[in-house]
Amino acid sequence: MSLNITKDVRNDLLRRREIDCVFSSMAGSLKRQDAINMVAKSLNVDAKKVFLISLRTKAGTRDVSGLFYLYDEPEDAKKQLPKYLFLRLQPKEEKEKLAKEVKKEEPKKAPEKEKKAKVS
């Protein structure tokens, strides 16, 4: 259970750090929130500024590689990242609650009548 940072690049245009890292022997047991907390702890930053973009494994290994963005301000992340990345980190109960709210807000579409084309 170790964390090795393989790449740490500063992106000044988007005001963030892009971090690639490898979690040794963590395949199948690493949770998203645990990964964020491990990266935040190793970099000595607040976990609210660290955003998980992807976790992936390779066949035949137990290592998990991850891509994280460390924003200067969390508000910048909300402007730049898609909403589904934020939803991934929510607990299951919160996801279900949000899904029900979205369904209530969606207007129901009336079925369109098919127009028959005249053949001449």
The 3-state DSSP class for residue 42 equals helix
Q: Quote the pTM value.
A: 0.76
Q: Which residues contact 108 (CB under 8 A, 6 or more apart)?
A: none
Q: How confident is the model at residue 103 (pLDDT cuts 50, 70, 90)?
A: confident
**DSSP class per residue in 60-100:** T---EEEEEEEESSHHHHHHHS-HHHHHHTS-HHHHHHHHH
- pLDDT, one tens digit per residue, over 45-70 is 999 999 999 999 988 889 999 999 99
pLDDT of 88 reads: 82
Provide the residue ranges of all domains of the chain, joining segments of one domain with +. Answer: 2-95
**DSSP summary character for residue 104:** H
What CATH architecture is 2-95? 2-Layer Sandwich (3.30)
Instruction: Provide the 10 A C-beta neighbour count for residue 77.
Output: 21
- pLDDT, one tens digit per residue, over 9-35 is 999 999 999 999 999 988 888 998 899
Residue 107, token pair as written in the block: 């207007």
